[in-house]
Chains A and B, each alone.
Chain A
């Protein structure tokens, strides 16, 4: 792909109206987030006045030192790590099964795995809450993790399955022909091949879990993850400057890994292009 010239897909240039429409939509998607950055530095503490009366840096250390923010951040990271780990195992196993074998109900697998993400979040939330109430399971760290892992599986599954379909089977066959057993082949051939797909899948799963509010509302009980804490702060503003700074930090923390994940998946399509 890289060696080819950039050939536009259409011979005619795009009209100005189309370019303007595209630009307007992109600004609509991005300007609101930039505003959060401005508000993180405003000296105004009790209203959302624009433009800010003057700017200050003092909220940043205060927000970072806020104990409520810290404890909910720690909880969120613990939940996301464990949910990602679970999703990594379940998603990879499912992808391997679907790729390698033909079996009854194979088409249904993708459908079932994507259900928690495709149905409105409130369905998964209420469903889990019903189970928790019916079986009288106490709310805990684990109820949050189980909920998150369920909707994270599909991101790992999709990434790994896409990579399996792109890697040529001949390498695995060659490895087996040269005398490696299944485990050696997995360790030396398959794993390096799907490594970046696993990484991209887990980054996306992590950020999905890191941001989730709807399912968490029904599985968390009294505990507050960071998004829930922010939601409660917006609902009943107690400390606006700290909320603003936390919101900005969340944007910064999540943006970098997402860009990285995009790079990792983009590389796959590039190598694919080189082969053809």
Chain B
């Protein structure tokens, strides 16, 4: 019986393909793409201010609300934060990736890989929480500043406009530090992959032709690592754009995209505005991905 079924299926590869593909495709088309289209649909509805009900009628007024100065400011603030976090991640990640890809022995490489991926997979909320402990007014940074007599410097920094605050925990510097910490592994891994693909022969050829090691680094290795940097930046940029946990726990009351979406959704039940707002990061990411593709980032993923 099974033999006959097996032969029957063996002769019909298209049928087997259909049977294999059907469940995952139905799931993704119905659940995921279906949800995304209801989001698009919702963004063209509006919330009736008097009844508090969502009115299922086509309108562009929800999108027009995005052009309010406060909302535009939220978009630019979040994009700026994402850009700064990305740059900081590149600067911190590059030495690690470079060391792991070019100098580490095999055992060291395994250790580094584990050291980078373990934080990546371990609990996100808990890792965010650890910074609550570090940045608190009575926390380890203030203690460290106290014993090294740098508290004057810390207070001077906290008194600065924009980056300062009553404590690091409620300053925009706090948000920035936590974001860099949380997304750093996403930057290390693609840069390392890109660096490992640099053929050894190219580096040798460069030094044979008389380049010193810094010239080789600037003219051979760095350009070839660039797609990896762009690939990593896709993650750090996109993840910062959509996060609401970090801005809810750190920083002052100024809104970021994720926090704004959560507030519209949660307190006022304004799903149309939340949906329209979410189109913001999607559009920013699509533009970003198009640029990244031109820079060759997808070969390094």
* Additional pairs, 10, CB under 8 Å, beyond known A94-B24, A120-B242, A133-B271: A9-B101, A25-B92, A29-B184, A30-B119, A36-B130, A90-B24, A122-B258, A130-B38, A131-B38, A213-B245
Interface of B is mostly: helix
Shortest B273–chain A CB gap in Å is 11
In this complex, what residue of B is CB-closest to A185?
B6
Shortest A191–chain B CB gap in Å is 15
> By the criterion CB–CB under 8 Å, are B116 and A29 in contact?
yes
B84: CB under 8 A from chain A?
no
Residues of chain B lying within 8 A (CB to CB) of residue A130:
35, 38-39, 41-42, 271, 275
CB-contact partner of A97 in B17, B41, B102, B138, under 8 A: B17
> By the criterion CB–CB under 8 Å, are B7 and A181 in contact?
yes
Residue interface mask B1-42, A partner, CB < 8 A = 1 = 011011101100100010011011001100111111011011
Total interface residues on B, CB under 8 Å, equals 100
Known: A35-B130, A230-B129. A133 touches B42 (CB 8 A): yes
Known: A123-B278, A126-B265. A90 touches B27 (CB 8 A): yes
> By the criterion CB–CB under 8 Å, are A91 and B127 in contact?
no
B55: CB under 8 A from chain A?
no
> By the criterion CB–CB under 8 Å, are A94 and B96 in contact?
no
In this complex, what residue of A is CB-closest to B119?
A29
> Chain A: residues with CB nearer than 8 A to chain B?
1, 6, 8-10, 12-14, 17-19, 21-22, 25-26, 28-30, 32-33, 35-36, 39, 47-51, 89-91, 93-94, 96-97, 100-101, 103, 112-113, 115-116, 118-124, 126-131, 133-135, 146, 149-150, 153, 181-183, 204, 207-208, 210-214, 217-218, 227, 230-231, 234-235, 243, 247, 250-251, 254-255, 258-259, 262, 266
> By the criterion CB–CB under 8 Å, are A26 and B96 in contact?
yes
Residues of chain B lying within 8 A (CB to CB) of residue A181:
2-3, 6-7
Shortest A209–chain B CB gap in Å is 12
CB-contact partner of B121 in A124, A135, A227, A258, under 8 A: A258
Known: A22-B95, A214-B242. A255 touches B262 (CB 8 A): no
B85: CB under 8 A from chain A?
no
**Bound Cα distance from A134 to B123, whole angstroms:** 32
B105: CB under 8 A from chain A?
yes
Residues of chain A lying within 8 A (CB to CB) of residue B27:
90, 149-150, 153
**Bound Cα distance from A119 to B184, whole angstroms:** 17
Taking each of B3, B9, B203, B248, which has the highest tally of chain A beta carbons within 10 Å of its own beta carbon?
Answer: B3
> By the criterion CB–CB under 8 Å, are B124 and A211 in contact?
yes
> Chain B: residues with CB nearer than 8 A to chain A?
2-3, 5-7, 9-10, 13, 17, 20-21, 23-24, 27-28, 31-36, 38-39, 41-42, 54, 92-93, 95-96, 98-107, 110, 112-119, 121-134, 136, 138-140, 142-143, 181, 184-185, 188, 196, 200, 203, 213, 234-235, 238-239, 241-245, 248-249, 257-258, 261-262, 265, 271, 274-275, 278, 281-282, 285
**Bound Cα distance from A129 to B277, whole angstroms:** 14
CB-contact partner of B2 in A36, A100, A119, A183, under 8 A: A183
Shortest B261–chain A CB gap in Å is 6
> By the criterion CB–CB under 8 Å, are B245 and A35 in contact?
no
> By the criterion CB–CB under 8 Å, are A121 and B242 in contact?
yes
In this complex, what residue of B is CB-closest to A1?
B106
Residues of chain B lying within 8 A (CB to CB) of residue A210:
123
In this complex, what residue of A is CB-closest to B274?
A126
Known: A122-B281, A259-B118. A214 touches B243 (CB 8 A): yes
Shortest A257–chain B CB gap in Å is 9
> By the criterion CB–CB under 8 Å, are A32 and B131 in contact?
yes
> By the criterion CB–CB under 8 Å, are B282 and A214 in contact?
no
In this complex, what residue of B is CB-closest to A243?
B129
CB-contact partner of B265 in A19, A112, A129, under 8 A: A129
CB-contact partner of A218 in B129, B248, B265, under 8 A: B265
Residues of chain A lying within 8 A (CB to CB) of residue B103:
8-10, 13-14, 18
Residues of chain A lying within 8 A (CB to CB) of residue B124:
211-213, 227
Residues of chain A lying within 8 A (CB to CB) of residue B249:
234-235
Residues of chain B lying within 8 A (CB to CB) of residue A36:
126, 129-130, 133
**Bound Cα distance from A262 to B119, whole angstroms:** 13
In this complex, what residue of B is CB-closest to A212?
B124
A-B residue pairs in contact (CB < 8 Å), sample of 12: A10-B103, A49-B139, A90-B27, A121-B239, A123-B36, A123-B282, A131-B39, A133-B42, A210-B123, A211-B122, A213-B125, A251-B123
Shortest A273–chain B CB gap in Å is 10
Q: Which 10 A-B pairs have the closest CB atoms?
A: A120-B242, A21-B95, A181-B6, A32-B130, A127-B35, A14-B103, A48-B136, A97-B20, A122-B242, A94-B24
Shortest B118–chain A CB gap in Å is 6
> By the criterion CB–CB under 8 Å, are A231 and B245 in contact?
yes
**Bound Cα distance from A94 to B102, whole angstroms:** 36
